[in-house]
Amino acid sequence: MGTLFLVATPIGNLEDISPRALNVLRNAVLIAAEDTRHTGKLLEHFGIDTRITSYWEHNKLDKLDFILEQLSKGDVALVSDAGTPGINDPGYELVRAALAASFDVIPVPGPSAPIAALSASGLPTDSFLYLGYLPHKSTERRKALTQVSDLTYTLVFLETPHRIINSLEDILSTLGDRRICVAREMTKLHEEYWRGTVTGAVSHFRSKEPRGEFTLVIEGKGKMESGRWGKDELLKAIKKGLKTGKSARELSTELAEQSGWNKKEVYALINSIK
């Protein structure tokens, strides 16, 4: 009897795939992929010619018997478009079916967008709540946010570029002006981690067209001791900002939103080192 391997694949940078993941993909009798075209490019890049079949939201139940049959012949690898399979994509039903049929189910750990963003956020990581994508409609989105507004856990969400501004505005009106890290295009060429307050995030992403996939990490209620940066941290950010050619006024506005310092205080510090 084969084993169902849950193989994590890169969320952007192909170098993030593990040697173990490549070995499992090469030796499986079948790869079940969320998007065969997307996964096909990954397999081609690494010279893997294992047979592949689609397994996605609209055929995940119809494919169960076929995949279980293949498991009786050897190992099957389940992959998503990016990251760890079964997290915010099809996989749960297959895992349950494989376990019920007495097959082993083994994870092959690797990239995961929520964990990557959380670890780099600068927000508490000892306890967190991952809630996937926020609802599409504002009314439902605010309702979902209200349900977690009193939790002290760090909150992690996914969002798309065309909804990011509306979602940030709903977060501000529902959760308040909390600390947030907005991770964009992680591990890719235009990777960005914006850290500051929700108000600052709204202003930042309104100023330019949002692009790429977003992961939002938001502080829990009363979790942070203080959102105010230390003076050394602020001075370091000022020096970095001045190198970009930004004016003192522009830089003081931007850093006040991120650091928790008063805009006049930031402006005075900028002038003291110019």
Residues 177, 162, 212: CA angle, nearest 5 degrees: 95
* DSSP per-residue string spanning 195-212: EEEHHHHHHHHHSS---S
Does residue 188 have a pLDDT over 50?
A: yes
Q: Encoding tokens for residue 5?
A: 């391997």
240 or 129, higher pLDDT: 129
Residue type, 162: H
Distance set, CA 272 to CA 3, 114, 161, 238, 239 (Å):
64, 40, 38, 11, 11
Percent of the chain exceeding pLDDT 70 equals: 97
Q: Is the pLDDT of residue 265 over 90?
A: no
pLDDT value of residue 227: 60
pLDDT at 159: 97
Task: Tell me the two tokens of residue 140.
Answer: 């439902």
- Residues sharing a CB contact under 8 Å with residue 179, sequence separation 6 or more, in sequence order: 122, 123, 195, 196, 197, 218, 219, 224, 227
**Local confidence band at 225 (pLDDT 50, 70, 90 cut-offs):** very low
Model-level pTM greater than 0.95?
Answer: no
Per-residue model confidence as pLDDT tens digits over 38-71:
999 999 999 999 999 999 988 988 999 999 999 9
Say if strands 214-218 and 179-184 run parallel, antiparallel, or are unpaired.
antiparallel
Give the pLDDT score at 261: 82
Based on the fold, state whether residues 153 and 203 are members of the same structural domain: yes
Do residues 124 and 213 both lie within one domain?
Answer: yes
Domain count, the chain: 3
Domain presence at residue 223: no
Query: Does 225 fall in a domain?
Result: no
> What is the model's pLDDT at position 75?
98
With a cut of 50, say whether residue 110 has pLDDT above it.
yes
Whether 269 maps to a domain, the answer reads yes
Angle between helices 248-259 and 198-206 (to 10 degrees): 140
Residue 7 resides in a domain: yes
Residue 223 has pLDDT above 60, yes or no: no
Same domain, 103 and 121: no
Shared domain for 178 and 82, answered yes or no, is: no
End-to-end CA distance of the chain: 70
Do 104 and 125 have their domain in common?
A: no
Same structural domain for residues 78 and 134?
no
Q: What is the CA radius of gyration of the chain?
A: 22
Tell whether 64 is covered by a domain: yes
Last residue of a domain, one of 218, 243, 262: 218
Confidence of residue 224 (pLDDT cuts 50, 70, 90): very low
Strand boundaries in 8-127, DSSP class E? 30-33, 52-54, 76-79, 104-108
Q: Which domain holds residue 255?
A: 231-273
Do 99 and 17 reside in the same domain of the chain? yes
**What is d(CA 126, CA 118) in angstroms, rounded to the nearest whole number?**
10
